[in-house]
Amino acid sequence: MKGIGTSPGIALGKVLVYKEPEIIVTKKEVKDSNQEIDKIEKAVKKGISQIEELYQITLKNVGKKEAGIFNAHKMMIEDPEFIGGVKKQIESEKVNAEWAVKNTSEHFIQMFENIEDEYLRERALDLKDVSKRLLRILLEIETMDLASLKEECIIIAEDLTPSDTAQMNKKMVLGFVTEIGGKTSHTSIMARTLEIPAVSGFKDATKTVKNGDFIIIDGKEGLVLLNPSEEDIKLYKEKKKKYEEFKLKLREMKGKESISKDGVKVEIAANIGTPKDMDKVLENDGEGVGLFRTEFLYMDRDKLPTEEEQFQSYKTVAEGLEGKPVVIRTLDVGGDKDLPYLNLPKEMNPFLGYRAIRLCLDRTDIFKTQLRAILRASAFGNIKIMFPMISNIKEIRDAKAIIEEVKEELRNEKISFKDDIEIGIMVEIPAVAVHSDIFAKEVDFFSIGTNDLIQYSLAVDRGNQDISYLYNQYHPSVLKLIKMTIENGHKEGIWVGMCGEAAGDEKLIPLLLGMGLDEFSMSSSSILRARWIINNTSKEEVKSMLDTILSLPTAEDVEKFIDENIIG
C-alpha cells in the first residue's frame, strides 16, 4: 500500500489505531444567549491554558520552532474575527455555543482550504485542531491519552493534530501513518524533526488496519506493509539497520572537510532562492552558496524589488556565511519563470527566447539596479557575480562593461564594494561548453547548469512529463560536455563548479569528482550525503575509468557501470 513519504526512516511494529472521540454537535435554540457567551469565554480561557501547556511541553521535548505552532493556535483561539463570529452567531441566531463554534470554524476552514498556496491551505488543519479543542471543552469529552503510552507502537490515525503529536510519548512511538496531511503539514514537520518515520495520504488507513496488526512503514518511499511475511520483516530489519548506520555516518560529516579518499579537497555549497533558506544551509554545514537564484526576490509581487530590498537580501546571505563564498546569479527570468508585471511577450519557444541575460542586457535599468545592490553587498562578505544563459562572448563583455559603469557610479558616490569581485558564467548552453576553452579566458569561474544543459543538448523540454524519459543526466554526450568544460576551465586556471541538480546526484558525484569538478552546489538537504560520498571515493580511481564510461553507448549503460563498478 502506498501513501506519501513525509519523514524518512523505517519502522516495524504493532499498530495503535488512534481514533478521536466522536464530537456530535446538535443545534439548540437558547433563550439566554449571555449564558452561551459566558460558556464560550470560559472555554476559550481553558483552551488557552491547555495550549500554553502544550507550548511548554513541545519547547522542552522538541524545539522552539516546532513549539511556535502553539503560538499560532493561541492566536487563532483568541482571534477576534473567529471568536467574534461565534459570539455574533449566538446572539443573532439564538443558538448554543457548540453549534456556533462548529459553524463559524467550518466557514473559516473552507476559506483556508480554497487557498492555492499549500502552506496556507494546511493552516486549515490548525483551525480544525483549535475548534475541536473548544468543542471538547464545551462538551466535556475526554481524549485518548497519547502521553502515557506504555508499549511501543506505530500510530495509525485519520489525522494527527500538532496537539496530538506534542503530547505523545515519543519513546513509544515508532512511526505514524495518517490518512490526510502532506509534506508540509505540521505533523510531517514534527515527524522529520523528531526523526520518526511517517507516511501520510494513506486513504482509509484507520479502516484497513486494526489495533494489534503488525506493519512495516518506509517513510522515504511512502510504503506501508500490512502483516508482512517473515521474508519482508527480515529484509526491512536489514534496511532499517543500514539506514540508521548511514544516518549516523551523515551526522558525523558535520564539521568535516569534503575531501576524497586520495586527499583531493572540493567545496560543497548550497543552492538558495531567498535569505530564508540560509537556516538550512548552516544546519547542513554548507561550505558556501554556489547558486543564489535571485529571481525569487522578483516573484510573487506586483513590481520590481528596489535596490535597497535586494541589497538587504544579498547582505544577509553574505554576512550569514561569514566569509564563505556566495555566488549571486543575476536575474534569470523568462522560460518557465514569468514576471507578470514585466508584461513579457508570449513566445513560441520561451526556453529559447527573451530571457535571463538577454533580457538584462536589453532592460539595463533592471540589470543596473541589481548590480548596484550586489556590488554594495559585496563589501559585507565573499560575493561573486554569475550571469545566466550566456551563449556568446559579446554578452559577457557587454555585461562586464555594465558592471564597470556601475562600479564607477558607486565610486563617485563613495559607496564601498569589492573592486576585484569575481565574475563567472553559467555553462548551460551546449555551444558554451563546446567553446569553453575560449570562454574561460573571459571569466573567473564556470558553473555548469545541468538542468538546462541537458534540456538544450538533448532537445528535451525539462518540464514536459511526456518526454521526461529522454531527459537523462547520465547521457554520455552530456557527460562529455561536462568533462570538456571542466578541463578547459582548468587549462585557463579558473575554478569550475556545478549548480544543476546533477551536482547532488549520488551516482554522478563520483564521476564529477573524477573529472576534477571543484565545487558542487545543491539543495541543502543533500550536502552531508554528498560529503559522505566524496569522502568515500578516490578521485584517481574514478578518473582511470572515465574513458571507458564516456565510450559507453547509452545513458543506461553509464548508470549500470556506475552501479556495478563505483557505488558497489
List residues with catalytic annotation.
186, 499
Using the 8-state DSSP alphabet, how is residue 188 labeled?
Answer: H
User: Which burial class, exposed, middle or buried, applies to 32 when counting CB atoms under 10 A from its CB (0-12, 13-18, 19+)?
Assistant: exposed
User: Which burial class, exposed, middle or buried, applies to 429 when counting CB atoms under 10 A from its CB (0-12, 13-18, 19+)?
Assistant: buried
DSSP string, 30-80: -S-HHHHHHHHHHHHHHHHHHHHHHHHHHHHHT-HHHHHHHHHHHHHHH-H
CA distance 294 to 302: 16
Q: Does 489 bind Mg ion (CB under 5 A)?
A: no
Judged by CB under 6 A, which of 36, 422, 452, 519 binds ligand PEP?
Answer: 452
Q: Does 98 bind Mg ion (CB under 5 A)?
A: no
Q: Does 330 bind ligand PEP (CB under 6 A)?
A: no
CA distance 504 to 532: 12
Residue closer to ligand PEP (CB basis): 157 or 502: 502
Q: Which does 450 bind (CB under 5 to 8 A by kind): ligand PEP, Mg ion, none?
A: ligand PEP
Which range, of 176-184, 208-216, 258-266, 444-452, touches ligand PEP by CB under 6 A? 444-452
Residue closer to Mg ion (CB basis): 206 or 472: 472
State which of positions 462-521 bind ligand PEP (CB under 6 A): 499-500
**Are the C-beta atoms of 258 and 268 separated by less than 8 Å?**
yes
CA distance 254 to 251: 6
Which range, of 417-425, 449-457, 543-551, 555-563, touches ligand PEP by CB under 6 A? 449-457
Residue 445's DSSP bridge partners are 424, 495
C-alpha dihedral, 179 to 183 to 186 to 192, nearest 10°? 110
Ramachandran assignment for 385, one of left (phi > 0), alpha (psi -120 to 50 degrees), beta (any other)? beta
Residue closer to Mg ion (CB basis): 162 or 449: 449
Q: Which does 395 bind (CB under 5 to 8 A by kind): Mg ion, ligand PEP, none?
A: none
Residue least distant from Mg ion (Cβ)? 452
Which range, of 29-37, 253-261, 445-453, 557-565, touches ligand PEP by CB under 6 A? 445-453
Judged by CB under 6 A, which of 287, 332, 422, 519 binds ligand PEP?
Answer: 332
Smallest gap from Cβ 501 to ligand PEP, in A, equals 7
C-alpha of 317 from chain center: 17
Residue 425's DSSP bridge partners are 387, 446
Judged by CB under 5 A, which of 452, 505, 518, 519 binds Mg ion?
Answer: 452
Amino acid at 48: I
Q: Does 98 bind ligand PEP (CB under 6 A)?
A: no
Instruction: Give the Cβ contact number of residue 337 at 10 Å.
Output: 16
Q: Which does 499 bind (CB under 5 to 8 A by kind): Mg ion, ligand PEP, none?
A: ligand PEP
Supply the angle between the helices 64-78 and 123-139 in degrees, to the nearest 10.
60
Residue from 104, 106, 93, 214 nearest 156 by CA: 214
Which range, of 106-114, 320-328, 446-454, 508-516, touches ligand PEP by CB under 6 A? 446-454
Supply the angle between the helices 33-61 and 97-113 in degrees, to the nearest 10.
50
Q: Does 331 bind ligand PEP (CB under 6 A)?
A: no
CA distance 319 to 377: 9
Residue closer to ligand PEP (CB basis): 286 or 449: 449
C-alpha dihedral, 525 to 527 to 529 to 531, nearest 10°? -170
Q: Does 449 bind ligand PEP (CB under 6 A)?
A: yes
Q: Which does 535 bind (CB under 5 to 8 A by kind): Mg ion, ligand PEP, none?
A: none
Q: Does 277 bind ligand PEP (CB under 6 A)?
A: no
Q: Does 293 bind ligand PEP (CB under 6 A)?
A: yes
Smallest gap from Cβ 322 to ligand PEP, in A, equals 25
Judged by CB under 6 A, which of 126, 428, 505, 518 binds ligand PEP?
Answer: 428
Q: Which does 73 bind (CB under 5 to 8 A by kind): ligand PEP, Mg ion, none?
A: none
Q: How far is CA 222 from CA 67, 116, 198, 290, 486, in A?
A: 26, 24, 8, 31, 38
Q: Does 450 bind ligand PEP (CB under 6 A)?
A: yes
Judged by CB under 6 A, which of 50, 169, 364, 451 binds ligand PEP?
Answer: 451
Q: How far is CA 211 from CA 13, 18, 78, 224, 225, in A?
A: 11, 9, 37, 15, 15
C-alpha dihedral, 307 to 310 to 315 to 320, nearest 10°? 170
Which range, of 125-133, 370-378, 415-423, 447-455, touches Mg ion by CB under 5 A? 447-455
Which range, of 123-131, 192-200, 309-317, 448-456, touches ligand PEP by CB under 6 A? 448-456
Residue closer to ligand PEP (CB basis): 3 or 388: 388
From residue 397 to residue 436, the character string flagging contacts with Mg ion as x (rule: CB under 5 A) and all else as - is -------------------------------x--------
Q: Which does 505 bind (CB under 5 to 8 A by kind): ligand PEP, Mg ion, none?
A: none
Residue closer to ligand PEP (CB basis): 224 or 366: 366
Residue closer to Mg ion (CB basis): 40 or 425: 425
CA distance 229 to 235: 10
Residue closer to ligand PEP (CB basis): 17 or 291: 291
Q: Under the rule (CB under 5 A), what is the footprint of Mg ion? A: 428, 449, 452
Q: Under the rule (CB under 6 A), what is the footprint of ligand PEP? A: 291, 293, 332, 428, 449-452, 499-500
